[in-house]
Structure 1
Amino acid sequence: MGITMEVFKQYSNQIMWLGILMFGIVVLGCGGGGGGSASAINSTVAVAPTVISTNPGNTVTAVARNQNITATFSTAMNAATLTASTFTVTGPGSTPVAGSVTYSGTTASFNPTADLADSVLYTATITTGAKNVAGTAVAANYVWTFTTGSINDSTAPDVNSTNPDSNATGVPINQSITAVFSEAVDSATVNTTSFSLIEGITPIAGVVTYSGTTAIFNPTNNLNTDTNYTATITTAVQDLAGNAMLVNKVWTFTTGTTIANGPDPVSLGTAGNFVLLSKSGISTTGVTSITGDIGVSPIDATAFTGFSNYALSGTYATADQVTGKLYAANFAAPTPAYLTTAISDMEIAFTDAAGRTNPTATELGAGNISGMILAPGLYKWGTGVLITGAGVTLSGGANDVWIFQIAQDLTVSSGAIITLADGAMAKNVFWQVSGQTALGTTVQFKGNILSQTLISLNTGATLEGRTLAQTAVTLNANTIILPTP
């Protein structure tokens, strides 16, 4: 059965304040379509903010000595509560590191007064003195460690990819403009001055946000139809070591006449460079074929198991089962830093997908969506989701987006097929799973899986998409390819 949805546009970092019943008064968040949603904030109700990613990541080694230390939060914070007292860095013997703290978007940055020492273990802490804009504190101190290397970062950041691509045509008039950087950059340098959009010589009004490695320009109004636009990111953008982009990034695209249905796509950042990405290991048995790069971090290359003719080549490895490269946290630089950023982007993408608001449907099919035809939209379950052999059809255009928010497990029974109809594309389908994901034998699956725990593919299952797991990925005679761009 189809679901009729209201077209809406939504920032990737919105957080929904849930309505509650208190003393007989129901407080509900306001909904809206075509341009985002407002929120009702009850000052007596609060959700504790959390740290969703850091740079450097926990236990990361060979960190550049001149790098700033950042923490990205799950929601907007009160900048006045992020200071050198609530965001600290200490060295051996708990010796404080002198520095200042800045805050932009949802990211706080600790900027050391001087370069850190060579090959030293440091501890960073966000204390419970840090509060969000509603005045709610972090529930407990957030602590992580990292170890410096012996060199400074002198490599300038660059823009790896954009959406729309350069010279793209037929771009939906309600599309946001995104750019993915080659590394994490200073969020304070990403704004409407350094990231702009123009039609001819006329500036387009909009809002710029930044998270992970992705900057997003969200126009205030829909763009004009059949019109050429120019986007520019300037050399004002700097990385966490203060290195500026060497040249402006300029690209053009032309709109069409269509509107993209569904929510804004989830930006995967540099995690999108991988077809398989895992924090604790990737294993395979049987005759598996993987097209695209795979990576593990913070665990090392011993977490690649079952790969034949495995051969290390400095910064990456190769194996018979992979048409692409294998990356692990213990390979030569710059691979460790590359993976740290990708893992951080993966976690940010998971949080983004989980935090989207204004669902098209909730608890659809009581968690069993087998045999349904689903229009573009945001679908939410407080339970697990089951897809039996009847499969599911996703029907929509090439620019339409589906996000599935699943609070427990995603179970796809043997033989089930996810069918993309009417031009729908796997790259625009996002399965956010807070439990584990299990694809049965001979399943034909489509989309990007963002799973908080295990992703397992059983014998003969195929995937056009990505498996991005915060624990392990297990394979058994599977075929996996990156989605068509």
Structure 2
Amino acid sequence: MLLIGALLAACGGGGGGGGLDPILGPPVLGVVPAPTPTPVVPVAPTVVSTVPAATEPPVTDVATTAAVRATFSKPMSAASLTPTSFTLACPAGAPVNAAVSYDAATLTAILTPAAALPAGTVCVATVTTAALDTAGLALAANFSWRFRTAALADATRPTVVLTEPAPAATGVATNTRITATFSEAMNPATLTSASFVVTSGTPAVPVAGTVTYVASSRTATFKPTATTLAANTVFNAVITSAATDTSGNALAGNTAVAPNAGNHVWTFTTGAVADTVAPTVLSFNPVVSATNVCRTQSINATFSEAMDPTTVSATTYRITDNGVGVAGTVSYDAANRIASFVPSAATGFAANRVLTATLASGATGVTDLAGNPLAADEVWTFTTGAQVCNPPIDLKSIAGFGAFGGGAGVTNQGINTTIGGNLGSTAACTLITGLHDRFDIYTETPLNVGAVDGTVYCAPPAPGTVAKFNIATQARADAQASYNELAALPAGSDPGAGQLGGQILAPGVYTSAGGTFSITTGDLTLDGQGDANATWVFQSAAAMTIGAPGFPRRVVLINGAKAANVFWQVGAAARIADGSTMIGTIIAPAGVTISTAGQTLQTTLIGRAIGLTASVTMVNTTIVAP
């Protein structure tokens, strides 16, 4: 026993040091104890996107028959998604009777109202913490967002506005995916391999593939099952009229010839090789290391080539604040190849913070239409200021109109006039001439025929009604409110002393020092600088003129500029000369004149012609309300 005690003492046993443990024995040299496992922290589900989009100010002009959708970050328990956990109130405090379903394939809950929503109303949708994922985890907090319904039910048929590959394209990469972008939100359930078909050869042989629809970009993507398409082959792509918008309106095709009557059809020809070139980011807005960025601004990245919309999401495009993710909505503008991140909070990003934006590369990152990812993660920073951005102009119900003739009516001459959207006046319907909608004819002659894609709203006598007059009256009031809002904005610069021809203008407010604006010496270019929300407001106290007889002019949009964000506040009358192409919403008390009687040149307005008091007159005119 004495010998054992001495040995223990020599090894430090019985004391407080290391060495031999009287219970466990001597330590084993060279063996490191296993670390304690880090506990796995469950991740709660989140709402990553919605339809209508969760933005502030709220999305407007939503169809009264539209369904409401919420897409989650992970698979959800269908049993937990009910009219109790996913609710809609129109307005706030007035619950809407609705059914709720869950599409496991797209992780999307769909709320379908039992009846049409009230028109012109701000609705509040809420997904509560009663919504659970498949592991039983709840949302961390209720998720709510707002939108405003249209004053009128949506009766406009959707169209295809962009395809990749483009119609008649040649040399197309054999590993490409095929996309179609629509003019409005579509019902995803109607976009399948049955309604979006790709074929080759005669007789036509279908190409096997799957179809995915991304609501934020309004784009359907056909992904061939095979790795590559046949080389040097002509392919036909068809989207049938079975594809509908969220209000059930069938697609308006581009052909009236059987067997594809009513369908949208285009062709492209593959080349000999696949595309293996990685896409790049051409520009950022705000620019890299920008400071004093307004807090509600969207953060945008412009790509070098068309991207696969299904890969641009809140997972692949992230913004962090000191390593913590910022909640936001991600979308992709296929026409301009711009990815945008909009903060979810009504007040935007936190003030005076350095934020980091990341576009992910690799197998789980953003890719082009050939499946090529970025060569490396694209990471940049910017610093917010204390201020929020200037809010966009809310046109309310007048947004649904392509032309509005105050209290004096609307007149068309010529046989090639088409009006996208509604047309209206608070005058009697007898002052609407040379036009027709789907239901009624308004004093047309063989030489004066114009088609209104939406509905004509005017006062009695028939086909005018009190209900139509009330709608027109509200639209007139909303137009006046928008005009007043535009006129009240702080005055801006006048870079061309009233002459905008030949100018390239960044977003902002521009005010004519002399009271008039003209675009007559050249075309006007509006440069969005990669900002998907870039806005232009032109204030003129008196008249505005676009083009001159024999000298048509254009307004050109580049780098992400959008017609919906261009506004012209004109104090008197506006005139667009024959053959010109004008962009933006024109609101003029003394009315709008488009082209000249007897002209056959087509004149185009991608925007709206709104007379507050006087009429809108047009000759062989195309109006497309953005």
Q: Is the 8 A contact 2:122 2:149 kept in 1?
A: no
- Is residue 375 of structure 2 the alignment partner of residue 246 of structure 1? yes
Q: 5+ unaligned residues in a row in structure 2: which ranges?
A: 1-54, 66-115, 124-143, 253-261, 394-474, 492-496, 501-505, 511-516, 539-544, 565-577, 583-601, 605-626
Pairing partner for 1:215 from 335, 339, 342: 339
Mapped to 1, the partners of 2:200 and 2:230 lie a distance apart of 9
Task: Give the structure with higher Rg (CA).
Answer: 2
Shift of 1:15: 6.6
The sequence identity of aligned pairs, in percent, is 35
Distance 1:401 1:208, change over 3 A: farther
Retained in 2: the 8 A contact 1:29–1:38?
no
Distance 1:361 1:391 in 2: 30
How far, CA to CA, are the matches of 1:15 and 1:74 in structure 2?
Answer: 16
**Displacement, 1:97?**
1.5
Displacement after TM superposition at 1:243 (Å): 0.9
* TM norm structure 1: 0.54
**How many Å separate the matches in 2 of 1:36 and 1:362?**
26
Q: Deviations over 1:227-276 (max 9, x none)?
A: 11001110111111111111101000001122221429xxxxxxxxxxxx
Shift of 1:135: 2.6
Mapping of residues 70-85 of structure 1, within 5 Å:
70-85=179-194
Confirm or deny: 8 A CA contact 1:170 1:255 kept in the other structure.
yes
- State the shift of 1:31 in Å: 5.7
Q: 1:187 to 1:471 in 2, by over 3 A?
A: farther
Which whole-Å deviations, capped at 9, do the CAs of 1:382-422 have from their partners, x for residues lacking one? xxxxxxx9779xxxxx97579xxxxxxxx93658999x9xx
- Gapped runs of 5+ residues in structure 1? 1-7, 265-357, 367-371, 378-388, 393-397, 403-410, 458-469, 473-485
- Counterparts of 1:211-290 in structure 2, within 5 Å, are 211-212=333-334, 213-221=337-345, 222-235=348-361, 236-263=365-392
Aligned residues: 315
| Inter-partner Cα distance in structure 1 for 2:522 and 2:201 | 55
Deviation at 1:108, TM superposition (A): 0.7
Structure 2 equivalent of residue 375 of structure 1:
489
CA distance in 2, matches of 1:169, 1:111: 41
1:183 to 302, 305, 315: 305
Equivalent AA in structure 2 for residue 99 of structure 1: G
One-letter identity of the residue aligned with 1:412: S
Among 245, 254, 267, the alignment partner of 1:132 is 245
Measured after TM superposition, the shift of residue 38 of structure 1 is 0.9
Q: Which residue of 2 aligns with 1:61?
A: 170
- Alignment equivalent of 1:107, drawn from 212, 219, 230: 219
Cα 1:227–1:360 shift into 2, 3 Å: farther
Q: What CA distance in whole angstroms lies between the structure 1 residues aligned with 2:536 and 2:477? A: 15
- Tell me, in whole angstroms, the C-alpha distance in 1 between the residues paired with 2:237 and 2:358: 35
| Aligned match of 1:146 | 268
Write the letter of the residue equivalent to 1:67: T
Distance (whole Å) between structure 1 residues aligned to residue 248 and residue 164 of structure 2: 25
Q: 2: distance between equivalents of 1:112 and 1:169? A: 44
Q: Deviations over 1:317-362 (max 9, x none)?
A: xxxxxxxxxxxxxxxxxxxxxxxxxxxxxxxxxxxxxxxxx99962
- Distance (Å, rounded) in 1 between the aligned partners of 2:175 and 2:326: 36
- In structure 1, the partner of 2:121 is 30
Report the alpha carbon displacement of residue 374 of structure 1 after superposing the two structures with TM: 6.0
CA distance in 1, matches of 2:158, 2:360: 32
Shift in Å, 1:18: 6.9
Residue 128 of structure 1 aligns to a residue in which SS?
Answer: coil
In the TM superposition, what is the alpha-carbon distance from 1:185 to its structure 2 partner? 1.2
1:429 alignment partner in structure 2: 536
1:428 Cα offset (Å): 4.4
Tell me which amino acid in the other structure corresponds to 1:228: V
> Does the 8 A contact of 1:63 with 1:149 survive in 2?
yes
Aligned-partner SS, 2:386: coil
| Deviation per residue, 1:48-90 (Å, 9 max, x gap) | 2221111011111111111000001122222221111100011
Q: RMSD of the TM alignment (CA)?
A: 4.9
C-alpha spacing 1:30/1:451, structure 2 compared with 1 (3 Å): closer
Aligned residue in 2 for 1:461? none
Inter-partner Cα distance in structure 1 for 2:302 and 2:64: 34
Q: Which residue identity lines up with residue 194 of structure 2 in the other structure?
A: S
Q: Which has the higher contact order (CA 8 A, sep 6+)?
A: 1
Task: Please tell me the residue identity of whatever aligns with 2:120.
Answer: G
Counterpart of 2:407 in structure 1 is none
Q: Is the 8 A contact 1:412 1:440 kept in 2?
A: no
**Residue 205 (structure 1) shift:** 0.6
Structure 1 counterpart SS, 2:147: coil
How has the CA–CA distance of structure 1 residues 169 and 361 changed in structure 2, closer, same or farther, with 3 Å as cutoff? Answer: farther
